[in-house]
Homo-oligomer: A and B are copies of this chain.
């Protein structure tokens, strides 16, 4: 049904003419058409108005023709639905006026009715699917329970999420109770998203790399695995853990359809750790999009050669940065479309 299904076929590990390509945060601030909407509507208005979310989702596809769209939204709509106040402050980013600091705070957190609290996301999905008209697949996403806990406890972004980690290490029962509530909500949320029409779901574990390998298993991966197990029969699940190279071997034993990797490991090392059967996604350094377009094209071609064209989805190693030039983003996408396998 999907006309360009390279992305879905790569998730199944099929042999393709070239790997599919999309960019994390592709619906974002490097696009002038996005900036126009950003100037008119505040952050949560953009998330919560299906027409705006759908338009923003489709903008990069219209301009560059990536092989997949990803619904414009934010990982923090989930804690918001769970009775945790979340604001987006200019120049600060996420801001939670009442961060969770005790078991009593955790007790106030609810596992919500998804349709009542996040129905606007499902409306945005249905509208986006109409606009995409099956040209490319639509990806839905959620933050990992650990990454959401980081914001819920810390109350804002942080270079080390010290308060979040202190909470886990001194109040582990409260931490696990919160993680389980987030996990339960995320499973319900992602299942609704699939019902509304997304073709795959990606879990973003942006802060998993803050944990030691042992703590990562206990506070992050355990919960991501629950999500993968609950969703695997509904849609392909992609797990992306920034800085989580140390867990790749374990992650590769899961039922995830693909694993995202950042740019701190070579394609060769990623493949070695994840094994030959897992589809990998990544891992261009987003700041390398500041290089001249000709350099970008060479680097992307070399990256595909190194990962191999199959069982591979071309992406950045983290979200695209706001001040990347339009021609630079285009060079990234075009290099994939123009890819020819080296003669062996």
> Could you list which residues of chain A lie within 8 angstroms of chain B, going by C-beta atoms?
157, 159-160, 162, 165-166, 169-170, 209, 211-215, 243, 245-246, 263-266, 269, 285-288, 290-292, 295, 321, 323
Q: Give the shortest distance, in Å, between A28 (CB) and chain B (any CB).
A: 14
Known: A159-B157, A162-B321, A291-B170. A215 touches B265 (CB 8 A): no
Pair A263/B212 contact, Cβ less than 8 Å: yes
Pair B160/A287 contact, Cβ less than 8 Å: yes
Nearest 7 pairs of A and B residues by beta carbon: A165-B287, A166-B290, A212-B263, A169-B291, A169-B290, A212-B285, A213-B266
Pair A265/B166 contact, Cβ less than 8 Å: no
Known: A157-B159, A159-B159, A212-B264. A269 touches B246 (CB 8 A): yes
Give A78 to B298 CA distance when docked, in angstroms. 37
Q: Give the shortest distance, in Å, between A303 (CB) and chain B (any CB).
A: 10
Give A321 to B285 CA distance when docked, in angstroms. 29
Residues of B within 8 A of A291 (CB): 169-170
Give A213 to B266 CA distance when docked, in angstroms. 7
Give A252 to B166 CA distance when docked, in angstroms. 33
Pair A290/B159 contact, Cβ less than 8 Å: no
Give A261 to B212 CA distance when docked, in angstroms. 12
Give A209 to B159 CA distance when docked, in angstroms. 14
The residue in chain B whose Cβ has the minimal distance to the Cβ of A269 is B246
Give A167 to B292 CA distance when docked, in angstroms. 12
Give A286 to B291 CA distance when docked, in angstroms. 36
Give A264 to B160 CA distance when docked, in angstroms. 13
Q: Which of A212, A243, A265, A286 has the most CB of B within 10 A?
A: A212
